[in-house]
């Protein structure tokens, strides 16, 4: 989003526009920059009653006091993340195929939502129909869904 200051501006505008969750995702940044931004985002998100989720980095979520973390299939396992962050933290998990959806549904309260990636508008129609089938399967589980 153009760096620290720009990220704060965009987040403030999004909060004023009514977003219901903010995820800090900056894959190219070093961890200290993540932490600095998370610490500056928290007062904004808290003022609006919106949770701040940190992408991938459980250590940054803990250090900043964020509301949760979104993890991928190659990050720490959900049970370990839940032990580290505790029962009140929001934990999201990325899924990309039916096997991962089934595994996510089996996790129950270990995770709070799943994210289906890649974003549907970026994938061919034939693949989008498979994503829609996955969404239907998720709808029969106990999970919330977000598009990544």
Q: How confident is the model at residue 121 (pLDDT cuts 50, 70, 90)?
A: very low
Q: Decide if pLDDT at 18 tops 80.
A: yes
Whole-prediction pTM: 0.79
Of 80, 144, 142, the C-alpha closest to 114 is 144
Chain-wide mean pLDDT for the chain? 85
pLDDT digits (tens, 9 = 90+) for 25-81: 988 889 999 999 999 999 999 999 999 999 999 999 999 999 999 999 999 999 999
Distances (CA, A) of 41 to 52, 74, 148: 8, 26, 20
Quick one: average pLDDT of 105-117?
88
pLDDT above 70 covers a percentage of the chain that reads: 79
Q: Decide if pLDDT at 134 tops 80.
A: no
* C-beta neighbour count of 34 within 10 angstroms: 22
Q: How confident is the model at residue 141 (pLDDT cuts 50, 70, 90)?
A: low
């Amino acid at each position: 989003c153009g760096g620290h200051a720009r990220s704060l501006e965009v987040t403030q505008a999004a909060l004023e526009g009514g977003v219901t969750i903010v995820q800090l995702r900056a894959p190219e940044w070093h961890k200290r920059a993540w932490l600095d931004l998370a610490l500056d985002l928290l007062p904004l998100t808290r003022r609006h009653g919106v949770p701040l989720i940190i992408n991938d980095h459980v250590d940054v979520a803990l250090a900043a006091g964020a509301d949760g973390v979104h993890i991928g299939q190659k990050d720490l396992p959900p049970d370990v993340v839940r032990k580290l962050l505790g029962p009140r933290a929001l934990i999201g998990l990325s899924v990309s195929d039916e096997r991962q959806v089934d595994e996510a549904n089996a996790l129950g309260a270990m995770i709070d939502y799943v994210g289906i990636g890649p974003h549907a508008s970026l994938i061919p129609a034939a693949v989008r129909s498979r994503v829609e089938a996955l969404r239907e399967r998720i709808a029969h589980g106990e999970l919330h869904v977000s598009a990544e």
